[in-house]
A and B are shown apart, each in its own frame.
Chain A
Amino acid sequence: MKPGAFAYLAPNSLANALELLEQHGSDAKILAGGQSLVPMMSFRLSQPALLIDLNGIDELCYYQRGDDRGLRIGALSRQRSLEKEPLVAEQAPLLREAVHSIAHPQIRNRGTIGGSIAHADPAAELPALAVALRARFRLVSTRGSRWVAAQDFFRGLLTTDLEPEEMLVEIALPRHPMRCGSAFLEIARRHGDYAQVGAAAVVILDSDGICEEARLVFLSVGDVPMEATRAAAMLRGERLTEEFIAACAEHAGDNEIDPTTDIHATADYKRHLAKVLARRAFTVASERARAQLRKES
C-alpha cells in the first residue's frame, strides 16, 4: 500500500511543465490534487517513472469572465473553490448546486477541477456536469493549444482525448443563458460517496415558455458521462408538463444508459434510479427556468 519509487519534479511555470511533458511523454504523470492518482499509486495500479507536480503553478488557479461573458476556470482551481466563487453562483448555478456531492470536504480542499475532468472517472460529477453545461476544454502542449468540447473529450473508462504530452489547462463555460434552469441529483449510500446514479438536467425556455433546449447527462451508468440526447430531444418544442417529463425520463432510462451490476446495486435498480432522478431533475430544472421567465416579464 505504498507507491513505487518515482522521480519528482515541481516546475514553477506552465511552460516548464509542458517542456517536461514533451520530454517524458507517457513515462510521466501529472500530479494535480492527487486525490485519485495517489491512491492509484499506493495500490500500484499506476507506476509512473516521473511525477510532474503542478501545485506550484499559480497561473493555473483562476476564475475569470470570458469574452462571451461566460466563465473561464483555471484547471488547478480546487473543487472547494466552487462553493465560494461568486462567478460560479452567477454563471454556473448547476456547479454550485452539485459541488457538495463531490466526495468529502477534505477531498474537495485538495482535489482540482481539471484533475477530476482529466481523470475521467465515469462515477465523478465534474465530467458529467461539464457535458451538461457544454463546457469546452483547452488542451496545451509545447506545440500549441486546441479546444475540445466536453461531449467529445471523454472517450472511455478513464480515457480522454488528451495526448501524452498535452495538459488540460482551462475549462470554459458558455454564458448562462436566459430562461435557463438546471438541477443536479444523485443517490449515494453515504453523503459524498461515489454515486450509484447521478443526473444533471438543463432546460432553456423561449419567451413563451416553450422548451427551446433540454439536456440530460447521467453519471455512473456507463464508461463515460452518458448524455440522453434522444430523450432530451423529445422535450424540445413542448411545454414541459409532468407527462412529457415522465416519458422523457422513461426513454432515457430504458435506452440511453448502460449500467452494470456491482456490489451495491443491480443494473435494473440503477436503471430505475436513473429514471426517477431524470424525472425529478427535469421537474426542478423546468421550475427554475419558469421562475426566470416570470422574473423577465
Chain B
Amino acid sequence: MSQLSLEVEVNGQSVQRKVEPRLLLSDFLRHDLGLTGTHVGCEHGVCGACTVLLDGEAVRSCLILAIQTQGHRIETVESLAPDENQLHPLQEAFQEAHGLQCGFCTAGILMTLRPFLEENPNPTETEIRQALSGNLCRCTGYQHIVDAVLLAAAKNKND
C-alpha cells in the first residue's frame, strides 16, 4: 500500500511519519503516536469523543485524514496539563465539580471547551449546553459537566 510522508506539529513537537492516505487522524494519534488520551467512540462524527484541536479549532479527528494535517498544528488532551503534577484549570474544575463518571467522553469535551472558553470566557448555561451538543456523555446527564464549566469560568474571572 502506498505511503505518503507526513510532517505535522503535535502538542508542540514536530513529528514525521509515513502514512497511508486512508489513515484517520484519530488512529494516527492513538496507534502511530501512542496518544491514547484521544478516545474513539462512534468513528463517524456523531459522539465527539475524538475531538482535538486543529490549528486551535475543535474538530473531530475521526473525520479528518491524518495526511490532511500536513504542515498543520494538532493539540490533544495530553497537551492540557502543564506537567505531571498539575492539571489545567478546566481539568481541575471537572475534578472539583465531579464533571465525569466513566471518563470516556471527557477528553473530547475538554478539547471542545478549551477554545470555547477562550472565545467566550463568561458563557451562560444555555451557551454551554449548545457548545457541548456535539459531545455525547452517557453517564452524567450533563448537569455536573455544565457545573464544571461554570466553575472553570468563574475561577478564571477571579484569577
Contact = CB atoms under 8 A, between A and B. Distances in A.
A244 interface: no
Given A39-B45, A110-B63, A5 B133 contact: no
Interface in A94-109: 100, 103-107, 109
Interface in A6-56: 6-8, 10, 31, 34-35, 38-39, 41-43, 51, 53, 55
A105 B68 contact: no
A2 B24 CA distance: 8
A295 interface: no
A132 B10 CA distance: 43
B20 A104 contact: no
A3 interface: yes
A106 B116 CA distance: 11
Nearest to A9: B21
Contacts of A1: 43-44
In the complex, which of the residues B1, B54, B58 has the most CB atoms of chain A within 10 Å of its own CB atom?
A: B58
B20 to A, nearest CB: 7
B21 A104 contact: no
Contact of A38 (B63, B131, B134): B63
B interface, by DSSP: helix, strand, loop or mixed? mixed
Interface in A69-119: 80, 100, 103-107, 109-110
B44 A8 contact: no
B68 A107 contact: no
A181 B39 CA distance: 44
A179 B67 CA distance: 49
Contact of A105 (B20, B65, B131): B131
A103 B22 contact: no
B40 to A, nearest CB: 9
A209 interface: no
Report the contact-size class of chain B (Cβ under 8 Å from the partner). 20 to 34
Interface string A51-66: 1010100000000000
Interface of B: 1-2, 4, 20-22, 24, 27, 43-45, 48, 51, 54, 57-60, 62-65, 67-68, 70, 112, 116, 129-131, 133-134
Closest 9 CB pairs of A and B: A104-B134, A8-B21, A39-B44, A191-B133, A192-B133, A3-B22, A109-B57, A38-B63, A106-B58
30 contacts: A3-B22, A5-B22, A6-B22, A7-B2, A10-B67, A10-B68, A10-B70, A31-B68, A34-B64, A38-B65, A41-B22, A42-B24, A43-B44, A51-B21, A51-B65, A53-B68, A55-B68, A104-B48, A105-B112, A105-B116, A106-B48, A106-B51, A106-B60, A107-B45, A107-B134, A109-B57, A110-B59, A110-B64, A190-B133, A192-B130
